Amino acid sequence: MEEIKNIIESLLLVAGEPLTIDHINNILTQAEKKEIQNALSELSKEYEARKGGFFLREVAGGYQIRTRPEYREWIKRLIQPKALRLSKAALETLAIIAYKQPIIRSDIEHVRGVNCGGILRMLLERRLIRILGKKEIPGRPLIYATTKQFLEVFDLKDLKDLPTPEEIITLGEASSEQIE
C-alpha cells in the first residue's frame, strides 16, 4: 500500500496533465483501481494534514498536484503564465455554453441578447470551448461545448461539478455585490 502510494505520488509529480485512475492503472497494472483510489485519497489527506504549499485536486476527471491559492502572489513573482483574464462578456458566454451544452450560436446569443461571434472565436482559440459538429437544421449551425481544458482551468471535476447558479436573485444582494 505504502509503495503504491509512493509510485502514484511520483507519477503525479511528473505528469503534465491531470492523471485519471485508468491512466494510473495502465502504468501500475498490479494495483486494483480501488487501491489506486484509496491511495489517492490517502495522499490528499496527507497533503491536507501537512498544509504545505500544494494539494491534490480532482480536476477534469483526473488528479493533479496544484499549488495552494494562498501562495499565488509568490508564484507570480516567479512565472507569468499567459493571462487568462476573460472579460465579463466572455465569462457569461462561457457560462451559457457550460450550462446549456451542446448549444448552437443563436441560442447563446438569445440569452445575452448580443452577437457573440468574436467571443466564440476567442474562446475556441484558448481551447476553452470546441465545436461538436453541425446541427441538422436549416443553415446547419455549429454546435458548441466546453473542453477538458475548461474543466482544468476552472478547477472542476466534471460538468456536474459546475456551481449551481442562484435561482432567484434578490436585488438588494445583487446590488451590494456590485458595489463591492
Partner 1 sequence: MTPDECYQVQLENIFEGPMDLLVHLIKKHEVDIYDIPIALITEQYLKYLEWMKAMNIDVAGEFLVLASTLTQIKSRMLLPAHEDEDEDEDPRLEIIRPLEEYLRIKSAAEKLAKRDLLGEDTFVRNPGQEDYLLNREEAVIDVGLFELIDAFQKILEHISPIGRMEINADTITVRDRIVQIVDIFETKESVTFNELFSKNADKSEVVVTFLAILEMVRLSLIRVAQHTQTGIIRLFYL
- Pick the binder of partner 1 from 20, 28, 122, 154 (CB under 8 A): 154
Binder among 37, 105, 155, 157 for partner 1 (CB under 8 A): 155
Position 44, amino acid: S
Using rule CB under 8 A, residue 159 touches partner 1: no
Virtual torsion, Cα 77, 83, 89, 93, nearest 10 deg = -120
Residue placing its CB nearer to partner 1 in the complex, 28 or 95: 95
Please, what is the minimum distance in Å from the beta carbon of residue 142 to partner 1?
A: 20
Q: Does 122 bind partner 1 (CB under 8 A)?
A: no
* 146 belongs to the binding site for partner 1 (CB under 8 A): no
Rounded least distance, CB 5 to partner 1, Å? 19
Pick from 171, 165, 14: nearest CA to 91 = 165
Query: Residue written as cell 458548441?
Result: 144
108 half-sphere exposure, CB direction, 13 A CA radius: 28
For Cα atoms 166, 176, 171, give the angle at the middle one, nearest 5 degrees: 50
Environment class of 112 (CB within 10 Å of its CB; exposed 0-12, middle 13-18, buried 19+): middle
Contact 20, 27 (CB under 8 A): no
Between the alpha carbon of residue 16 and those of residues 47, 169, 180, the distances in Å are 19, 40, 37
Number of chain positions touching partner 1 (CB under 8 A): 53
Task: Determine, following the binding rule CB under 8 A, whether residue 112 of this chain makes contact with partner 1.
Answer: yes
- Least distance from C-beta 175 to partner 1, angstroms? 5
Stretch of 23-31, 34-42, 84-92, 135-143 contacting partner 1, by CB under 8 A? 84-92
Binding site for partner 1 (CB under 8 A): 13-14, 16, 57, 64-69, 72, 75, 77-84, 86, 88-89, 91-92, 94-96, 98-99, 110-115, 152-156, 162-163, 165-167, 169, 171-172, 174-175, 177-178
